[in-house]
Amino acid sequence: MADKPRLRIPSEAKKGDIIAIKTLVAHPMETGFRKDEQGKPIPRKIINTFVCSFGGREVFRADLEPAIAANPYIEFTVKVAESGTFTFSWTDDDGTVTTAEHSITVS
Amino acid sequence: MSPISRRGALLLGAGLGITLRDVAREAGATPAQADAAISKFTAGKTAERGKISIDLPEIAENGNTVPMSVVVNSPMTADDYVSEIFVVGDANPNAAIVRFHLTPMSGRAEAATRIRLGGTGTVTVLAKTSTGKLYADSKTVKVTVGGCGG
């Protein structure tokens, strides 16, 4: 996957703040229901799992279906208690995993 | 004044809506499949209404990308939090749309994404709490152009 995932997350927060995390990854999310010009079905190829962890602990996960639009955008919240690093992973049907990281300073 | 009158355009739009809905049906969209997915999630228990707010447009011009956000009323403490949010659409060839898994670290029980809708239908959002409570709410979305390719 050529494009880096896009993340929108604050880099600083106060202890106990609930922050919004916005993520977007470039992917066609081919449903498997479409047909090409010859009428042959185009095989399904989607991101099926998205996971966000903080300091090694899973804080949010989404199981995606073909009903998620291309370039899947996912937004959720996290209550931050300490400084640390968020890790994100997007898993493709073919097993490819795209990852990203973001550090936050909590005062 | 354009050659197509306003009334003509509206009628044309209405006709188009029916055709696309038929296409979605052919693609295998079955409300029965959505019902089955919902019953599997609730496992025979009754879901409480009024705890979930669903933000979806009433009319989606393009079913290929419909912004959706979901908020569940929950304290989100370590003892009582929403652990799972499941979204089902009855006009899609595959009823399941997305499943979010939350933790007490989520702070608030909310999530947003962009979904595909194959045609006009009902989107149902179900939520499960760590204490075993079930919530459900639904919203009808009119879709002008379906987003499942078929």
List beta partners, residue A7: A23
A66-105 pLDDT per residue, tens = 999 999 999 999 999 999 999 999 999 999 999 999 999 9
Q: How far is B48 from chain A (nearest CA, A)?
A: 23
For the stretch B32-46, pLDDT in tens is 889 999 999 999 899
Q: Which residue of A has its CA nearest to B82?
A: A60
Distance of alpha carbon A28 from alpha carbon B134, whole angstroms: 34
What are the structural domains, with CATH classification, of chain B? 6-145 (2.60.40.2470)
Distances (CA, A) of A37 to A41, A42, A69: 9, 10, 22
Supply the pTM of this predicted model: 0.85
Q: Indicate the CATH number of A6-106 among 3.40.50.300, 3.40.30.10, 3.40.50.720, 2.60.40.10.
A: 2.60.40.10
Contact criterion met (CB below 8 Å) for A90 and A57: no
Residues of A in contact with B111 (CB under 8 A): 60, 62, 74-76
Predicted ipTM?
0.94
CA distance B21 to chain A (A): 16
